[in-house]
Structure 1
Amino acid sequence: MDTPTSLSESPFAYPLSLCLFSTLATYIASVLTSNVSQVDRLWTFLPTIYTAYFALTPLWPKTPTTIGGIWIPIVPFVPANLEAQLPRDAAGSITFSHRALLLLTLITLWMCRLSYNTFRRGLFSLADEDYRWAVLRRQFDERFGPSGGKVVFQIVNLTFIAATQNVLLMALGWPAYLAVTQSKMDGNKFINTDYPLATWALGILFIEFTSDNQQFVYQTYKHTFLARVKENPESEAHAYALRTASAVAWPFASPIDYLKLSPADARRGFVTSGLWGFSRHPNFACEQTFWWLMCAVPVYAGSLGTVKAAIIGTPDNKAFSWDGITTAVAGFIEWLFNVIRASSPSHEHTFASSADRLVHFMPAIALSILFVSSTAYTEAISSSKYPVSYTAYQKRVAMFGSVPLLGLFPMLLPVMTFFGWRRSLEIVDEPVKVLLEYSSMKGLWWRFTTNDVEKKRVEGLVWGDPVAPEMKDVNGQ
Structure 2
Amino acid sequence: MALPHLRALEDCADFTKTVKPFVPQLYDLPGKLHEVLTGQESLLNVYMQTNPLISGFALSVFLGAVFLVVAEVNRNYSQVDRCWSLLPTLYIAHFDLWARLVGLPTRRIEAALLFSTLWSVRLTYNYWRKGGYNIGHEDYRWELVRQRVPKVAFHVFNWTFVSFMQSILLFLIAAPVYKILLASTIEPNLTSADLASLSMELGLILTEYIADEQQWAYQSAKKQFKETGRVPRGFKQADLDRGFLTSGLWGYSRHPNFAAEQTIWFLLYQWTCYATKTLYSWAGLGPSFLILLFQGSTWLTEQITGGKYPEYSEYQRKVGMFAPKRLSAYKTPALKPKIIRTSELAEKQRQKEKEKEKEKQK
Q: 1:6 corresponds to which residue? A: 25
Name the Cα RMSD after superposition.
2.2
Deviations 1:369-402 (A, max 9, x none): 111111111111111222x31101100111011x
Letter matched to residue 393 of structure 1 = Y
- Structure 1 residue aligned with 2:60: 19
The one of 296, 301, 304 equivalent to 1:381 is: 304
Residues 322-360 of structure 1: CA distance to partner in whole angstroms, max 9, x if unpaired? xxxxxxxxxxxxxxxxxxxxxxxxxxxx233x3xx1533
Partner amino acid for 1:221?
A
Equivalent residue, structure 1, for 2:322? 400
1:443 maps to 326
Native 8 Å contact 2:256 2:322 kept in 1: yes
Counterpart mapping for 1:226-241 below 5 A: 226-229=226-229, 237-238=230-231, 241=232
Matched, 1:29 2:70: yes
Are 2:315 and 1:460 equivalent residues in the alignment?
no
SS across alignment from 2:186: helix
Task: Report the alpha carbon displacement of residue 465 of structure 1 after superposing the two structures with TM.
Answer: 7.8
Which consecutive segments of 4 or more residues in structure 1 shift more than 4 A?
A: 464-467
TM-score (norm 1): 0.59
Residues 122-141 of structure 1: pairs in structure 2 closer than 5 A: 122-140=131-149
* Shift in Å, 1:30: 0.8
Check whether the contact 1:292–1:364 (CA below 8 A) recurs between aligned residues.
yes
Q: What's 1:121 paired with?
A: 130
CA–CA distance in 2 between the matches of 1:227 and 1:466?
31
Q: Distance in 1 between matches of 2:292 and 2:74?
A: 29
In the alignment, which residue of structure 2 is the partner of 1:65?
A: none
Contact in 2 for aligned 1:211/1:282 (Cα 8 Å) = yes
Q: Give the TM-score taking structure 2 as reference length.
A: 0.77
Instruction: State the match for 1:106 in structure 2.
Output: 115
| Code of the aligned partner of 1:284 | F
CA contact (8 A) 1:55 1:96 kept: no
One-letter code aligned to 2:91: Y
CA-CA distance at 1:279 after TM superposition: 0.4
- Is the counterpart of residue 294 in structure 1 residue 295 in structure 2? no
Number of paired residues? 296
Structure 2 Cα separation of the partners of residues 45 and 379 of structure 1: 26
The Cα of 1:155 is off from its aligned counterpart by: 1.1
CA distance in 2 between partners of 1:372 and 1:57 (Å) = 34
Q: 1:465 to 1:41 in 2, by over 3 A?
A: farther
CA–CA distance in structure 2, aligned partners of residues 358 and 59 of structure 1 = 25
Output the CA distance in 1 between the equivalents of 2:258 and 2:292: 12
The answer to whether the aligner puts 1:181 opposite 2:167 as a matched pair is no
CA distance in 1, matches of 2:267, 2:66: 31
2:165 & 2:203 partners in 1: Cα distance?
29
Amino acid at match of 2:85: T
For 1:137 and 1:109, the matched residues in 2 are separated by 34
Partner AA of 2:75 in structure 1: S
Gaps of 5+ in 1: 61-82, 84-93, 141-148, 230-236, 243-255, 302-349, 402-439, 448-457, 468-477
Matched with 1:51 is 92
Residue identity (%):
35
Q: Kindly state the Cα deviation for residue 295 of structure 1 after the two structures are TM-superposed.
A: 1.5
Cα contact 1:460–1:466 (8 A) shared by 2: no
Partner of 1:420: none
Q: For 2:302 and 2:23, how far apart are their aligned partners in 1?
A: 45
Q: Per-residue deviation at 1:22?
A: 0.9
Task: Tell me, in whole angstroms, the C-alpha distance in 2 between the residues paired with 1:217 and 1:165.
Answer: 30
Instruction: Give the distance between the partners of 2:176 and 2:243, measured in 1 at CA.
Output: 39
Alpha-carbon deviations, 1:226-285, whole Å to 9, x = none?
Answer: 1212xxxxxxx01xx33xxxxxxxxxxxxx2xxxx2111111111111110010000001
Unaligned runs of 5+ in 2: 5-20, 30-49, 338-362
Residue aligned with 2:136, SS: coil
Q: Which residue number corresponds to residue 190 of structure 2? A: 190
Distance 1:33 1:4, change over 3 A: closer
Distance 1:131 1:46 in 2: 22
Q: Say whether the 8 Å CA contact 2:56–2:91 is kept in structure 1.
A: yes
Give a deviation string over 1:199-228, Cα, whole Å, max 9, x none: 111111111101011111100000110121
